[in-house]
Structure 1
Amino acid sequence: MTGQAQSRVPSGFTAPPLPMRSLSRTPDWLSAYLFLAPIAAVFAALLAYPLADGISTAFSNRMIGREGEFTGLANFAELLADPHFQRAAWNSLVLTIGVVSVKLVLGLGCAVLLAQRIPARGLARALVFLPWAVPGLIAGLSWKWIFDEQSGVLTYIAMSLGFTDRPVYWLSDASIGLWSIGLAMVWHGLPFFTMMFLAALSSVPSDLNEAAAIDGAGPVRRFFSVTLPQMREVIFVTVMLSTIWTFNSFHMVFILTGGGPAMRTHILPTLAYEYGIIQSRLGLGSAVLVSVIPVFLVLIVLLTRRMLKTDN
């Protein structure tokens, strides 16, 4: 019997492999969610929960050491009538526009210069990129010493050149304190613009400039008509990222002036620290930060759409 059963199987016959039912029957969307579940859990624990807690705190009179009660829009109504909040919002807007604009112009100029074949170009690039490697805390402390009215370098140079015969109060004078902070921010953020624009310049096809030169376009015309349009996506992304970082900056203002004198140099993040930590009014401090969430949402949506459009 056994021999007859074996003789019925054709020679060379191979049984097909058994299907992997456990994997083949799992929907693709379910597999994707299973792989993303650990990341989603970390995101919820480290980002989503603190954000939700901060938003809920903004609608309460919570203080340090006290839970507080729901107060609705009372904190936001108080902020709208608060002159310190109005000044901080104006300072944030002016500082962001001014600093980003200066970094845009200087970064573009530095990138064009460093793209040329100049002597010691490697050393020049290293020196330009050096401030980007300095931690924000160290940069703030260094500029605080530079701006010191008694022993600071700027005051010494100004008095040595005869521009003034008395110390200059770079940080304690309300009329120039914000400009001094802006100068330090430009110094610390300029390498990012230069690095991004230098990379964009290196990716511009050389045949476009050669064709424009054959048509009789000079260097300036080629830059504005050929090179700059090829860099517009990088310029947009760089400006948007810098706008978000500058508007949300905290350490430079906190270290240099702490919002003084008389709360005249506060920006919104430092004002939130003043209300939430110094005055222990966590609800009001959270309301300051929540009030700018719509601004960040608009910037992030614009940035994301442009980056996705570039990738496509």
Structure 2
Amino acid sequence: MKRRRLIKLLTVLAVLLLTAVPTVVSAEGEYLANTDFSDWQNEAPSWWEFESGGGTLERSEESGQTVAKLALPEEGYAYIGQYVYFEPETTYQITAMVKAEGISGSEASLNMDFADQIAQSEGITDTDGAWKQMKLCVRTNVDEDQAYYLRIGIGNTGNLGTGTAYIAEVTCEKLDVMPAEGTTYTLIGSLGYGGNGGAAPAGEIEDEENYPDITYNNLGIAVMSIFCGILLFLIYTGKWAPRLGRFLSGKTAVVCIFAAAFLLRIYVASVNEGYETDITCFKVWASDLYSGGLNSFYESAGFADYPPLYMY
């Protein structure tokens, strides 16, 4: 009898191991490769992609260091980009030393951003021959997939310009707390990679030697795995099955479960300020409802995916 119970217990433990929370299997802190542009292949820095409409990219030497030089003699766009893989609900700061010369055009400037995201650094048009640090602070949301395409350069397909830019010493670091000053943009993992057609280049996702793998919002999964494991053990052994069945079918169990869920909801709401993108959307939707009422909620040109009564 004891042997059979031991086999059942080992089976339950095996199931728990299969549902265990995944962990990062990579070098800690290595989010970008070839950040000093020391390695070049095919007339471009390794690991970086060159995208342009009328521009050029060349290797240059400035103050004894290798830099990437972007030039737009005619109106267009030019930038270098690299795929980066982050962790959910984490703050990151990306910096680069840059120098800009005579950048002009309709809203065109030297900056860094993430494709298909609203996050972008402050634009620079001219640094008067001096080097300047460009900075961008972001925080990822709760999505499991946190893969993005970082771009650094002049303009884009919608904002064309002319001028010259020098880029050097790119860094990406994880922060323990959000900076008190400046804007911290929210990155939405579900919006995809962006960049070249929205697909990651072959082989880079599996390159665990240089990039963190995808992680999960693990607290909820861990708690649910433990809870399901206990239930599975009690039911599988059979000793507590009748008593457990009677308890779960009673009103007391239902009240306890919903009460626990309600208390958890209150606790999460009290310690989490919410996400910048979500809060902004809720404010806009609430304003639309206040000014136009329920009937016009879905008639505006703005995006709205929540029921109108939810805003009330």
Does the alignment reach a TM-score above 0.5? no
**Larger RCO: Structure 1 or Structure 2 (Cα < 8 Å, ≥ 6 residues apart)?**
1
The structure that is helix-richer by fraction is: 1
Q: Smaller-chain TM-score range?
A: under 0.3
Normalising to structure 1: TM-score of the pair?
Answer: 0.21
The structure that is strand-richer by fraction is: 2
